[in-house]
Amino acid sequence: MSNSTTPSLSSGTSNPPTHIATPVQAERICTDQHALYCFDVLVAHFENREPMAPPFPNQNEKYALFVTWNTTVHLRSNKKPALRGCIGNFTPMKLADGLREYALVSAFEDHRFSPIKSSELPHLSCNVSLLTPMTPISSPLDWTPGEHGIHISFPHPSTHRPLSATYLPEICPEQGWTREETVLSAIQKAGYKHKVVVGDVVWQSLKVKIYGSEKATTTWEAYVKWYKGKGGKLKVVKS
């Protein structure tokens, strides 16, 4: 990232797994204001209005980012929220522009899910992840779960078509995966559905990069309170 306040990754080539200085170790960059803004962008889309002005001061600073929507629909009380959409961009963008774009892209264009409907809003929560720059590692397993996100790329062994996928830092511990299971799942996510084992042709062709992130989360209830506190009146969903 071009912004000087964003921590950079270490070289990532040492063994044991590389450690990076993540944003959370300094003053927080990502806050609930970013997630609240994403909620307002989504609600504004359904209400056919312009979203409120970005409520955060660093709107013109550039970051790579991801926006994630989760839902509690059809879940038992003891279950964690389920993924409803997650898309982002590794190219640093002006923060306000990036959040406004990917709040909608992740809600409507994640091919794994149907587009989010306005009736789902009360069941949603929103996560915003701001990412540190990526750095290559020498081994697909040379990273720390919960601290590093991974980005893998490799050519399809038959068609040679380039394939790639990523998992944010929180995914591995949330799913209870090992590092190996996370990499193998990322290979599947990239579009290669055949069996892969450590050390085979596909595994050896992997190029893996790691990155850190800082995450902020908010709920629909928190958004409604925030929006009404700004004098807003919801139209698409009554709360």
pLDDT tens figures, 135-160? 999 999 999 999 999 999 999 999 99
CB atoms near residue 9 (< 10 Å) = 22
Tens of pLDDT, residues 24-71: 345 788 999 999 999 999 999 999 999 999 999 999 999 999 999 999
Tens of pLDDT, residues 86-106: 999 999 999 999 999 999 999
Q: What is the pLDDT of residue 238?
A: 54
% pLDDT > 90, the chain: 79
What homologous superfamily is domain 23-132+213-229 in, according to CATH?
Hypothetical protein ph0010; domain 1 (3.30.700.20)
Helix axes 32-47, 95-108, angle to 10 degrees: 60
More confident residue, 78 or 69: 69
Architecture of domain 135-211: 2-Layer Sandwich (3.30)
Range(s) of the chain covered by CATH 3.30.700.20: 23-132+213-229
Are the CB atoms for 149 and 88 separated by under 8 Å?
Answer: no
Q: H or E segment at 140?
A: none
Range(s) of the chain covered by CATH 3.30.1490.150: 135-211
**Is the whole-model pTM more than 0.85?**
no
Q: 189 CB contacts (<8 Å, ≥6 apart)?
A: 165, 167
Q: Is the dihedral of CA 172, 89, 102, 40 positive or negative?
A: positive
Percent helix, strand and coil across the chain, each to the nearest 5 = 30, 25, 45
Mean of all residue pLDDT scores within the chain: 88
Nearest CA among 66, 84, 78, 96 for reference residue 170: 66
